[in-house]
Amino acid sequence: MIKKKFHSRKPYLATVIQSILFISICLMSLNAREITISWNASSDKDVAGYKVYYGLSSRKYKYCIDTKKSTQYTIPSIPDSGKIYFAVTAYDSEGNESQYSEEVSIWNNITAGALFSLKPCYPNPFNPQTQIPYTLHGTVYIELIVYDILGRQVKVLYRGVRDAGNYKALWDGRNSHGKQVSNGIYFCRLIVGDFCQTKKLIVVR
C-alpha cells in the first residue's frame, strides 16, 4: 500500500495541479488496452515533477507512477473491467508533495468491438494503393488517419459522422500534400470516441 505524504513546506503546492485535461483509451488490439492521461502543467519553477495515482477505489489508489516533468502518461495495462480512478500530484526538489488533484474516473467495461472493427488492409504490402475496411455498429463520429512509424500524421482519410455499416477507405500512398510517401511501415488508426484500433501498412515501391 502506498504511503501518501500530504505535508508541504510550501502551501501553494497544494493547488498547483488544477485538473486532469483528458483521459483516452486506445486499443492496439482487442486484448491490449491502454489509457493515456494528461494534465495541466504548473508554471511554478519550484515544481520538480508529477505523480500519477490510480486504482479501483476512490482516493485509495493502488498504483503510483512518477512521471518526472512529463504532463502525460500512458498506462500500458489496465483491468478488463471496473471503474478506475485517477489523480495527479506535484512535488518539489525536496520531495514535498501536493494534495491530490481533482479526481477523474472512467468505466472500463466497454470494448472496441462493441463500437467498431478495423479489419486487415488489402493488399498489404501494397503499391500503389490499398483498401482499409472497417465496420461501425452505430452512428458515431470517427477519425481514420494514417501515421508514419514516428507517430507523425501523414493523411486524414476520413473525419466526421458516419452511420452504422461496412465501409472501405482507399489510401493511395500519398500524404496530405499529395506527394507519394517513401517505402516503409505506416499505421492506419481508426478513432471512435475514447477508443482506437490500429493496423500496420507496408508501402513497397
The model's pLDDT over 101-150, given as tens digits with 9 standing for 90+, comes to 888 877 665 555 566 889 999 999 999 999 999 998 877 788 999 999 88
Q: Name the one residue in this structure whose C-alpha cell is 501515421.
A: 147
Predicted local confidence at residue 76, as pLDDT: 74
Backbone angles phi, psi at 188, to 5 degrees: -105, 125
| CATH 2.60.40.10 domain span(s) along the chain | 11-107
- Read off the C-alpha cell for 151: 507517430
Decide yes or no: CATH 2.60.40.4070 for domain 112-203: yes
For residue 154, pLDDT over 90 is answered with: yes
Predicted local confidence at residue 82, as pLDDT: 63
| CATH 2.60.40.4070 domain span(s) along the chain | 112-203
Q: What is the mean pLDDT of the chain?
A: 79
For residue 4, pLDDT over 50 is answered with: no
- Homologous superfamily assigned to 11-107: Immunoglobulins (2.60.40.10)
Cα 157 to Cα 38: distance, rounded to the nearest angstrom: 26
Indicate the pTM of the whole model: 0.50
Cα 145 to Cα 153: distance, rounded to the nearest angstrom: 7
Torsion of CA 67, 69, 71, 74, to 10 degrees: -30
Q: Name the one residue in this structure whose C-alpha cell is 477519425.
A: 143
Q: What is the pLDDT of residues 55-91, one digit of tens each?
A: 888 888 989 999 998 988 888 766 655 678 888 888 8
Predicted local confidence at residue 111, as pLDDT: 55
Of the two residues 9 and 72, the one the predictor is more confident about is 72
Cα 46 to Cα 16: distance, rounded to the nearest angstrom: 11
- Best CA proximity match to 165, nearest among 132, 144, 134: 134
For residue 16, pLDDT over 50 is answered with: no
Give the pLDDT band of residue 95 (cuts 50, 70, 90): confident
